[in-house]
Structure 1
Amino acid sequence: MTNPSLRPSITALKKANYANVPGHWVTDWLLYVLQKSPSFLITDGDYQLTESEQTQFEAGIAQMQSGTPLAYLTGKQAFWSLEFEVNEHTLIPRPDTEVLVERVLGWIDNHAQTDDTNNSPQRLLDLGTGSGCIAISLAHELQALAPNRWQVTAIDYSKPALEVAKRNANLNDVTNIEFKQSDWFSVLNSSENSERAADKPVFDVIVSNPPYIVDNDEHLDKLKAEPLSALVAPDNGLGDIKQIVEQARDYLVRGGLLAIEHGYDQGELVRQIFTDFGYTQVETRQDYGGNDRVTWGVYA
């Protein structure tokens, strides 16, 4: 049995330097192991970890040093105003993606239909939903903003990712959402063919955070624990974006919005893609780090 005097205190662990592990990961992991609130790290700095706590803490540090993100150890990640389950089948939601949610909600507030006499709900589509963080956050906000006005559809090719997304919808009490497995729009060609045959518009808003990283990008080494299929795209990272921008025209109402997240250095190229396919009011918004991150356009 470990000598209690040799077990580290909270203060000692906070002061220690763990190679390749961000400091906030260390403190967040410590809180997870201890199952305590952040104030405990301040008020109880002399607390010494039990043997089992120390073993769990050290094992997690070793995993993070080997490339496992903190969120995969805790199994959860905060995004927008909600909390999401994540695992190796989903990308970890990042704060910069909140810019996409923010932009879409702002557009809906200014442009979307508000006629309560129309019983047909407005519809939003999220392509490549992963953990469901974008679709569920939007559905959650829209349900509060206009109950029964919006219906959200979330699509992903990965069945395991969709199972995570479904659990996240339940976790956050979001009911105005449905999930479908599909390679981008392909499922809509059959299940909603009757609507398309009548040239009836399908969605008022389409959003996506598709793969957009080049396969030889140096940043991929830091993302090796996350699913590669959700990160890398052909055609210098623009292949999936081009496909979505082109095909979205078949599923958007006239005057509908398409909004896409992309790489920090792709803003100009993505704006050109939108313009080439006939979208108007094309703009790009920067993320919290000042990098181009979300481009949108209106299907005129």
Structure 2
Amino acid sequence: MTNLSLRPSITALKKANYSNVPSHWVTDWLLYVLQKSASFLITDGDYQLTESEQIQFETGIAQMQSGTPLAYLTGKQAFWSLEFEVNEHTLIPRPDTEVLVERVLGWIDNHVQSDDRNNSSKRLLDLGTGSGCIAISLAHELQILAPNRWQVTAIDYSQPALEVAKRNANLNDVSHIEFKQSDWFSVLKDSEATERPLFDVIVSNPPYIVNNDQHLDKLKAEPLSALVAPDNGLGDIKQIADQARDYLIHGGLLAVEHGYDQGELVRQIFIDFGYDQVETIKDYGGNDRVTWGVYG
């Protein structure tokens, strides 16, 4: 740790090399510690950190070098056009998942909004919602696209994750979401309702990583149960594709996120379970990331 009697300037910290910590994390963490905007780093490069600021900064750098993501230190992560609370109970939302939100909104606009003239109510289900980033982002946009028409249900097995998701809904002023604790579809199957609920769209970013994947070491701070799936990473996707058929309306859409090397396998799963119009969509890096299909 730097000698506190020689407090570093912003310029010195920006030039320093912190092993295993991305440079943009260092910059963003510095801004968080200082509670300043990005312009402050340009205009006030000679500013020297106070003793408390230096301790907080260097403690955070040490935590990041030990594997703690920046988002867990700041407690927040931007996603879509919104900001989300995150903690150790939730995965950190990633930009590639925005592809799922973007394409599902496009599909709804093209296939639901334009083809349905009676303004009937619609339902969307998000399985394994975690921080709620997918469900809340979709609900936020659907409220603009079709006010008061869409009801969103968000399900997660982890009650602590659901508590985070509920706070994120309030944080982003999204009220038309129902949160349920469940192992995938179980709570819907066991519902006391006389009729099984049907959805126009079902989305999910389920666990899809193989338990011995080398990339897991970089994700060790995040909840393992939200990352790893059996059957070579495809077990949860198979279960969702199978059971979703009982909860989709005729012509309803199922869209799931998956690994960059799983596109062909996931397409085959969808085809085997009778989905039509099966397609894999690439993320912003050009990798297979989302597969969807229409059922019925």
Is this a same-fold pair by TM over 0.5? yes
Q: 2:286 aligns with which of 259, 284, 290?
A: 290
Listed as ranges, the matches of 1:82-231 within 5 Å are: 82-113=82-113, 115=116, 117-118=118-119, 120-191=120-191, 193-196=193-196, 202-231=198-227
Give SS of 2:195's match.
Answer: helix
Native 8 Å contact 2:127 2:155 kept in 1 = yes
**Separation in structure 2 between the aligned mates of residue 92 and residue 172 of structure 1, nearest angstrom:** 17
Question: What letter corresponds to residue 265 of structure 2 in structure 1?
Answer: L
- Determine the structure 2 residue equivalent to 1:58: 58
Deviations 1:66-89 (A, max 9, x none): 000000000000000000000000
The alignment partner of 1:195 has SS state of coil
SS in 2 for 1:180: strand
SS in 2 for 1:112: helix
Q: Is 1:256 matched with 2:252?
A: yes
SS in 2 for 1:213: coil
Quickly say closer, same or farther: Cα 1:133–1:39, change in 2 above 3 A: same
- Give the CA deviation at 1:144: 1.0
Match of 1:20 in 2: 20
Residue type of the alignment partner of 1:145 = L
Q: Deviations over 1:104-142 (max 9, x none)?
A: 000000011465644x42000000000000000000000
- C-alpha distance in structure 1 between counterparts of 2:4 and 2:158, whole Å: 47
For residues 298 and 186 of structure 1, the distance between their equivalents in structure 2, rounded to whole angstroms, comes to 22
263, 271, 274: which one pairs with 1:275?
271
**CA displacement 1:158-184 (0-9 Å, x = unmatched):** 000000000000000001111000000
Change over 3 Å in CA distance of 1:4–1:126 after alignment to 2: closer
Backbone CA RMSD of aligned residues? 1.4
**Residue 73 to residue 219, structure 1, CA distance change in 2 (3 Å):** same
Deviation at 1:193, TM superposition (A): 4.4
Q: What letter matches 1:179 in structure 2?
A: F
Q: 1:4 to 1:237 in 2, by over 3 A?
A: closer
Q: What CA distance in whole angstroms lies between the structure 1 residues aligned with 2:151 and 2:7?
A: 53
Query: Structure 1 residue 4: deviation in Å?
Result: 7.4
Question: In the alignment, is the contact (CA less than 8 A) between 2:4 and 2:54 conserved in 1?
Answer: no
Work out the CA distance in 2 between the residues paired with 1:280 and 1:22.
42
Partner residue, 1:236: 232
CA distance in 2, matches of 1:3, 1:32: 22
Q: How many residues align?
A: 294
**Which amino acid in 1 is paired with 2:287?**
N
CA distance in 2, matches of 1:149, 1:116: 12
* Other-structure match for 1:70: 70
Code of the residue aligned with 2:72 in structure 1: it is Y
The change in CA–CA distance for 1:192 and 1:280 in structure 2 (over 3 A counts) is farther
Q: 1:3 to 1:259 in 2, by over 3 A?
A: closer
Identity of aligned residues (%): 89
TM-score normalised according to structure 1 size: 0.96
Match of 2:42 in 1: 42
**Deviation, structure 1 residue 191:** 1.8
Listed as ranges, the gaps of 5+ residues in structure 2 are none
TM (norm. structure 2) is 0.97
Secondary structure of 1:152 counterpart: strand
Residue aligned with 1:125, SS: strand
Q: CA deviation at 1:234?
A: 0.1
CA distance change for structure 1 residues 117 and 23 in 2, over 3 Å: closer, same or farther?
same
